[in-house]
Amino acid sequence: MVLQRRLNYGFSGYEVPAVPRASRSPRGRVPIRKKRDDNRIPAIEILACVAGKLLQDAENSSPNAACREEWDNIFENTIKCKQGHHQRYNEDEAKVSKRDPCEQEICKENFTCEFSRVPGLQGHRQSYKVSEFSRAQGNFGFKTNSTSYFADHSRVGRYSSNSVEFFRGHVDRVIETKSEAKLFRPSDKISFAPQTRGFFRGQIDSVTERKYEAKPSIIGTNKSEIFPVKGSLDTLELNLKPPSPVRPESDLKASLFRCRKTCGSYSRRCANAEVDIRDVDENSVCCPQPSRPIPNIVEQSIRNFSTSRQWRGAPNLKGGACRRTDWKRKPAYCNGRPCHTRQRSQRISPYKRRKFFDRIPLPTLDGRFHHKPTFNSPYKRGNGDNCNGANGASSSAAGQQALPKSTSRDCNVKLSIKSFTVPELLIEIPSTATIGSLKRAVMEVVTANLGDGLHVGVILQGKSVRDDNKTLFQTGIYHDDDHRSLGFILEPNHAPISSHPQAEDPHLLSGSRPQDLMRRTTSLTLQPKPSDFSSLPPVMNLHSSVDNNFDVVCSLTDISTNNAMPNSQALFAVPAITMEALPVVPLQQNPRHPEFVQRRTRRPFSVSEVEALVQAVEKFGTGRWRDVKLLAFDSAKHRTYVDLKDKWKTLVHTARISLQQRRGEPVPQQLLDRVLAAHAFWSHHQAKQQSN
DNA sequence: ATTAGGG
DNA sequence: CCCTAAT
């Protein structure tokens, strides 16, 4: 245990990228040199000041060292800023009230600070939300936007735009992008990742708004939890108050406890809180009972993840094979893992979310799939307290226990499976192909995905029923009145774990017509690790809640019960916990995680496409990629304007290099000449425009 | 949402 | 093709 970890940040050592990115032209057409308002200060400076002080004070004052030790956090800050008058100020002027950081995290407090005596900031108020993102060892940080983000003891990174974050302590590195790395040492001061600059004006505001808009419930607070400000002296004073009206310090623990309890946050602050996982039965896993030690289940699942996860970016890092492994597997570390990063798994920008869902199996929303769900979907959408899928499962189990023996045993169970639903399969076939060859192609894809042998899995109320020896009655299938709670999954006959993700995706049977071949992108990028999601059937197909990604996680997790995973049950505790109590479990394998997102398949431009592109660019010039897209590639859904821009870039490059250096399908020289000509022309044109 | 540019 | 910053 690293109990004596020290805070190694300060306010003099942070690096803020000084040079703003080269001015861009609005919409890329007419470059405009915009003068920066020198009086503005980067939001991160203020944030660093505030949050740093907050943490510093908290660490100095927290009565519970073990707690502190455990709270290796990443704080998330949400900035709400309504004014734009900022002047540089001395960071030392910031002062933050001393509070236990645990309190903040558990309660998910919002707080408001007011710049009282800071020149130019007087009267300016900001509300922040401090929330836990990760309690991984040695980290903390925060960010101000809503895009996805990750961090743990061995890596810190982000995958977001316009984010603001910093880290301290044992952070080894910050990954800027997959190809960029920045090393951090424990002695580092706060360092700001380059490219994470935000100004109070404009964008952070909007990002904040978007976040609230996207998921009002994730805020987990209400107006009463936004605390008024008390200005004082020459300081920027921050008042942090727990939601409870009771303030006395002596009440802190009690209120903490209450909060933890009510929020469903299960904080493990003591090392002795570990509980044998065997002590936890299936039901409680899925449905936390008040008396059950849920946090430990969660932790168990965290362990599962942490031992299996991989970070594919790691080997490529500059600076370093020095990935920390020395302490990462220490029990202390495991025990210290967070149990309730509530928002994290919801945090995803609409864009990222869409991006993700574009690539995972989803029901086609054409109505055919809107039949009744195969099982009772207890999932609720949108309000953040969803993820009761496991509740459904456990309640069924509970119902099973309570089932009176007098229930008619000879009552036949009538089931009808009207069709197999095979999720999306991508098939590309020329229009000249015959229907017969199309059928064969479909068959090929299906068999490739399902493998030779099929196994039927049974799902009852969201929970996979693995015990083949149980009777229907024992399992709880004794009425025929609601077979919506019953579902079937097609699975490969064996080896739930396969390195071939497509072959291991069991597919769901559901009640639509046989002709309804549901489409499904076959490629969730699943890591072939035994205990990750790769063994989870895409039962999310049942849920059409496209925009509630948490539902997907729920269904993913609570349905899969893989016998090859001894602790798999622990995994499925996750959805049973309310939003407030969500652990960081999906940190790595979270399908929403950018690491999880599959790269698009490469689709080289054909010569005719190139021709169309050249023609369009000749007409519109470089920098009007939307127009180019609309003109020449409107029907080509897979070609985005970014693609076209990229292709043009490579075309220009290709035209400039020698024939031998070129790769891929050769582009006629004549076309390349046009590329160069158009490029030269429009470059010149742009330069002229700019000078005017 | 678009565009520019680095990777 | 990906990713981010800046519009």
CA distance A491 to A506: 4
C1 C1' – A120 CA distance, angstroms?
45
Helix (H) or strand (E) holding A62: none
C6 C1' – A502 CA distance, angstroms?
39
B5 C1' – A640 CA distance, angstroms?
17
Covered bases, chain B (protein CB within 7 Å): 1-7
CA distance A373 to A59: 49
A481 and A623 together in one domain: no
A542 and A493 together in one domain: yes
pLDDT, greater one: A251 or A168: A168
CATH code for position A676: 1.10.246.220
C4 C1' – A328 CA distance, angstroms?
30
C2 C1' – A79 CA distance, angstroms?
28
Confidence band (pLDDT; 50, 70, 90) for A655? very high
Say if residue A475 is exposed, middle or buried (CB neighbours under 10 Å; 0-12, 13-18, 19+). middle
Is A42 within 7 A of strand C by CB distance?
no
Q: Rounded mean pLDDT of A487-514? A: 38
B1 C1' – A626 CA distance, angstroms?
10
What confidence score (pLDDT) does residue A449 get? 65
The answer as to whether A135 is a domain residue is yes
The answer as to whether A399 is a domain residue is yes
A404 and A453 together in one domain: yes
The answer as to whether A157 is a domain residue is no
- Residue A290: pLDDT over 80: no
Instruction: Looking at mean pLDDT, say which of A21-30, A56-65, A92-101, A196-205 comes out highest.
Output: A56-65
A556 and A662 together in one domain: no
The answer as to whether A336 is a domain residue is no
- Which nucleotide, over all strands, has the C1' atom closest to the CA of A179? B7
B2 C1' – A233 CA distance, angstroms?
46
**Which of the listed residues A596, A618, A650 is the one where a domain comes to its end?**
A596
Q: Which residues touch strand B (CB under 7 A)?
A: A 22, 24-25, 27-29, 177, 179-180, 351, 622-627, 629, 641-642, 645-646, 649
A559 and A440 together in one domain: yes
**Which of the listed residues A573, A596, A619 is the one where a domain comes to its end?**
A596
The answer as to whether A185 is a domain residue is no
What confidence score (pLDDT) does residue A453 get? 59
A661: containing domain: 607-691
What confidence score (pLDDT) does residue A642 get? 92
Task: Report the phi/psi class of residue A364: left, alpha or beta, with left for phi > 0 and alpha for psi in -120 to 50.
Answer: beta
- Residue A626: pLDDT over 60: yes
Covered bases, chain C (protein CB within 7 Å): 1-7
* Residue A521 · residue A361 · CB < 8 Å: yes
Say if residue A28 is exposed, middle or buried (CB neighbours under 10 Å; 0-12, 13-18, 19+). middle
- Residue A46: pLDDT over 60: no
Find and give the residue nearest to B7, measured CA to C1'.
A179
The answer as to whether A66 is a domain residue is yes
For residue A461, the number of C-alpha atoms closer than 13 Å in the C-beta half-sphere is: 20
pLDDT, greater one: A644 or A597: A644
- Which nucleotide, over all strands, has the C1' atom closest to the CA of A180? B7
The predicted-structure confidence for A566-577, as pLDDT tens digits, reads as follows: 222 221 212 221
B5 C1' – A192 CA distance, angstroms?
21
- Residue A490: pLDDT over 60: yes
Find and give the residue nearest to C6, measured CA to C1'.
A24
What confidence score (pLDDT) does residue A369 get? 21
The predicted-structure confidence for A543-552, as pLDDT tens digits, reads as follows: 222 223 222 2
Is A646 within 7 A of strand C by CB distance?
yes
Q: Rounded mean pLDDT of A239-246? A: 23
pLDDT, greater one: A449 or A338: A449
Q: Which amino acid is at A317?
A: L
Instruction: Tell me how many domains chain A contains.
Output: 3
Is A27 within 7 A of strand C by CB distance?
yes
pLDDT, greater one: A323 or A62: A62
- Which nucleotide, over all strands, has the C1' atom closest to the CA of A32? C7
C3 C1' – A522 CA distance, angstroms?
24
C1 C1' – A537 CA distance, angstroms?
28
What confidence score (pLDDT) does residue A643 get? 93
**Beta-carbon contacts of residue A45 (< 8 Å; ≥ 6 apart):** A14, A16, A91
The predicted-structure confidence for A223-240, as pLDDT tens digits, reads as follows: 111 111 111 111 222 222
Q: Rounded mean pLDDT of A649-653? A: 92
- Which nucleotide, over all strands, has the C1' atom closest to the CA of A26? C7
B5 C1' – A348 CA distance, angstroms?
25
Helix (H) or strand (E) holding A584: none
The predicted-structure confidence for A367-380, as pLDDT tens digits, reads as follows: 222 222 222 222 22
**Secondary structure tally for chain A: helices H, strands E:** 20, 18
C6 C1' – A515 CA distance, angstroms?
48
The answer as to whether A302 is a domain residue is no
- Residue A492: pLDDT over 80: no
- Residue A481: pLDDT over 90: no
- Residue A641: pLDDT over 90: yes
3-class DSSP string for A527-574 = CCCCCCHHHCCCHHHHCCCCCCHHHHHHHHHHHCCCCCCCCHHHHCHH
- Residue A475: pLDDT over 60: yes
Instruction: Looking at mean pLDDT, say which of A119-128, A191-200, A464-473 comes out highest.
Output: A464-473
Is A333 within 7 A of strand C by CB distance?
no
What confidence score (pLDDT) does residue A441 get? 74
- Which nucleotide, over all strands, has the C1' atom closest to the CA of A605? C1
A682 and A621 together in one domain: yes
C1 C1' – A320 CA distance, angstroms?
26
- Which nucleotide, over all strands, has the C1' atom closest to the CA of A626? B2
- Which nucleotide, over all strands, has the C1' atom closest to the CA of A597? C2
Which residue in A306, A299, A309 sits closest to A268, CA to CA? A299
Is A30 within 7 A of strand C by CB distance?
no
The predicted-structure confidence for A404-455, as pLDDT tens digits, reads as follows: 333 344 466 666 676 555 555 667 777 777 787 777 777 776 666 665 556 6
**What whole-number percentage of chain A has pLDDT above 70?**
18
Q: DSSP string spanning A617-668? A: HHHH-TT-HHHHHHHHSTT-TT--HHHHHHHHHHHHHHHHS-GGG--SSPPP
Is A206 within 7 A of strand C by CB distance?
no
Confidence band (pLDDT; 50, 70, 90) for A127? very low
**Beta-carbon contacts of residue A546 (< 8 Å; ≥ 6 apart):** A357, A362, A365
Q: DSSP string spanning A486-520? A: EEEEEEESS-S--S-HHHH--EEEESS-TT-----
Find and give the residue nearest to C4, measured CA to C1'.
A161
- Which nucleotide, over all strands, has the C1' atom closest to the CA of A193? C4
C6 C1' – A626 CA distance, angstroms?
17
Is A653 within 7 A of strand C by CB distance?
no
A538 and A627 together in one domain: no
B4 C1' – A588 CA distance, angstroms?
31
What confidence score (pLDDT) does residue A647 get? 93
A415 and A548 together in one domain: yes
Q: Rounded mean pLDDT of A483-499? A: 51
Which tokens is A307 given? Answer: 């031992």
Is A205 within 7 A of strand C by CB distance?
no
What is the residue whose two structure tokens read 């009510």? A262
Which residue in A628, A610, A619, A625 sits closest to A668, CA to CA? A610
Pairing of strands A75-76, A131-132: antiparallel
What confidence score (pLDDT) does residue A689 get? 74
- Residue A648: pLDDT over 90: yes
Q: DSSP string spanning A153-198? A: SS-EEE--SS---EE-TT--EEEEETTEEEE--TT---EEPTT---
CA dihedral (A534, A387, A470, A491) positive or negative: negative
What confidence score (pLDDT) does residue A443 get? 72
H helix runs in A339-486, sequence order: 350-357, 389-401, 435-450, 472-475
A565 and A677 together in one domain: no
C2 C1' – A636 CA distance, angstroms?
20
A139 and A225 together in one domain: yes
Is A5 within 7 A of strand C by CB distance?
no
Considering only residues 513-572 of chain A, list those whose CB is below 7 Å from strand C: none
- Which nucleotide, over all strands, has the C1' atom closest to the CA of A624? B3
A490 and A531 together in one domain: yes
What confidence score (pLDDT) does residue A425 get? 62
CA distance A649 to A397: 59
- Which nucleotide, over all strands, has the C1' atom closest to the CA of A206? C7
Mean per-residue pLDDT of chain A:
41
The answer as to whether A274 is a domain residue is no
CA distance A295 to A266: 5
**Which of the listed residues A214, A243, A272 is the one where a domain comes to its end?**
A243
B5 C1' – A20 CA distance, angstroms?
14
A107 and A77 together in one domain: yes
Which tokens is A549 given? Answer: 């990604």
The strand order across the sheet containing A110-115 reads: A80-81, A124-129, A110-115, A236-239, A94-96
Question: What angle separates helix A607-620 from helix A641-656, to the nearest 10 degrees?
Answer: 100
What confidence score (pLDDT) does residue A633 get? 92
Is A24 within 7 A of strand C by CB distance?
yes
CA distance A192 to A197: 8
